[in-house]
């Protein structure tokens, strides 16, 4: 599989939903496979909160593959021998696209809290600029899960003639209070950490030791991404063997897992980017800018394919089913698959074997 990683620079302004402007800005992106002559084989992949443009394959000397490597590649469901796949890092993130720790032109000082709030609409508008710069004006498919699924839905509504197919997994039409409440734990844990310094920390300040506030907030995130059944199966009531049961801070295996994974995460993910992306997720509402959700959904012209997961406690299956029923009532092209899974929200990243044949069939 041919992989290319690039950064596109834009001097023209990006007009944001808030009324503010981002200028200049850049987008990091990765491509897989070869673009055909008439540019009809393009698939756009959209990432979730903690994802990046590195969706598949491995870099030289890197053991960890891209976050959807099981789905994207030669001969896989998203077949890079047939399709030219593009995945971009969203604006606001910390993996190469312009975000809160990027220099605020013309100064070299980072934006920090002066960075504007960005929304899902803004993220896809920036991606439209990238596609245009590449001379790509029509897509075969847009696919994404969680926040990536939000982007796919927003593309379908805001740019109804852009893609033939939209595949949205584990997403929703509007973020509900339950999810916002989980996100609030992370936001406050970061803000209250003294080392966060109200966003005035130095770039890469947490690469060695991480930020405790982000790690604690990420624990809340992990709980919402899993399910009671998946935790029972993975950890049971197993206790860490060298911790005493009657030690106050002795740990169960599930506690050790949370500590280890979230501490690592806080070393490589920028806390300001986390705050800005969580804000984008919280403010997501497909109906904003339209008279109603019905009005927004009625704009969709692409063939819509919705996938939910039965144990998803972050974005419940009925939220995706609601979109399906609305489109079915309108006579719009839409199919819906509820995957039976005990894994929780993260099933869209982990249990690929339960839906990859469904995606293969769509892309045929």
Active-site annotation holds for 146:
yes
Backbone phi, then psi, for 140, in 5-degree steps? -70, -45
- Lookup: tokens for 208: 């060695």
Q: Read off the DSSP letter of residue 345.
A: T
Whether 97 is catalytic is no
Options 146, 273, 308, 341, the catalytic residue: 146
The catalytically annotated residue of 165, 222, 305, 345 is: 345
Is 312 marked active-site?
Answer: yes
* 258/47 Cα distance (integer angstroms): 23
What are the two backbone dihedrals, phi and then psi, of residue 87, each rounded to the nearest 5 degrees? -130, 125
Give residue for tokens 């994802």: 51
CB-CB contact of 53 with 6 (8 Å): no
Three-state SS for 21? strand
Q: What is the DSSP letter of 243?
A: S
CA distance 33 to 36: 10
* Catalytic residue, candidates 311, 312, 341, 346: 312
Helix (H) or strand (E) holding 148: helix 147-158
Q: How many CB atoms lie within 10 A of CB 270?
A: 24
Block residue for tokens 């009657």: 246
Q: 88 φ, ψ to 5°?
A: -110, 155
CA dihedral 231, 236, 237, 238 (to 10 degrees): -110
What does 255-286 look like in DSSP terms, one character per residue? HHHHHHHHHHHHHHS-HHHHHHHHHHHHT-BT
φ/ψ region of 320 (left if φ > 0, alpha if ψ in -120 to 50, else beta) reads: alpha
The set of catalytic residues is 146, 312, 345
């Amino acid at each position: 599989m041919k992989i290319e990683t690039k950064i596109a620079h834009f001097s023209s302004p990006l007009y944001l939903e808030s009324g503010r402007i981002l200028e200049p800005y850049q987008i990091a992106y990765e491509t897989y496979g070869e673009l055909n002559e008439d540019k009809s084989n393009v698939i756009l992949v959209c990432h979730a909160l903690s994802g990046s443009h590195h969706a598949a394959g491995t870099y030289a000397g890197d053991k960890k593959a891209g976050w959807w490597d099981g789905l994207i590649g030669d001969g896989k469901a998203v077949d890079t021998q047939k399709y030219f796949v593009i995945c971009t890092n969203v604006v606001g993130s910390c993996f190469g696209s312009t975000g809160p720790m990027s220099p605020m032109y013309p100064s070299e000082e980072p934006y920090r809290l002066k960075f504007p709030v960005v929304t899902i609409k803004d993220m896809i508008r920036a991606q439209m600029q990238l596609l245009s710069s590449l001379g790509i004006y029509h897509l075969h498919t847009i696919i994404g899960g969680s926040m990536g699924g939000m982007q796919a839905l927003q593309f379908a509504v805001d740019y109804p003639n852009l893609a033939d197919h939209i595949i949205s997994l584990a997403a929703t039409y509007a973020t509900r209070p339950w999810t916002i409440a989980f996100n609030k734990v992370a936001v406050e844990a970061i803000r209250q950490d003294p080392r966060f310094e109200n966003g005035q920390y130095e770039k890469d300040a947490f690469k060695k030791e991480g930020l405790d506030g982000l790690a604690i907030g990420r624990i809340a995130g992990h709980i919402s991404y899993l399910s009671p059944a998946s935790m029972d199966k993975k950890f049971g009531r197993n206790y860490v063997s060298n911790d005493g049961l009657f030690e106050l801070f002795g740990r169960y295996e599930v506690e050790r897992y949370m500590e280890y994974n979230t501490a690592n995460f806080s070393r490589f993910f920028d806390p300001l980017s986390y705050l800005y992306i969580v804000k984008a997720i919280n403010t997501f509402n497909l109906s904003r800018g339209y008279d109603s959700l019905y009005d927004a959904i009625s704009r969709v012209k692409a063939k819509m394919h919705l996938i939910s997961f039965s144990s998803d406690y972050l974005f419940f299956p009925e939220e995706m089913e609601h979109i399906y029923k609305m489109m079915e009532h309108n006579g719009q092209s839409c199919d819906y698959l509820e995957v039976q899974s005990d894994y929780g929200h993260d099933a869209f990243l982990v249990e690929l074997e339960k839906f990859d044949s469904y995606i293969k069939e769509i892309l045929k």
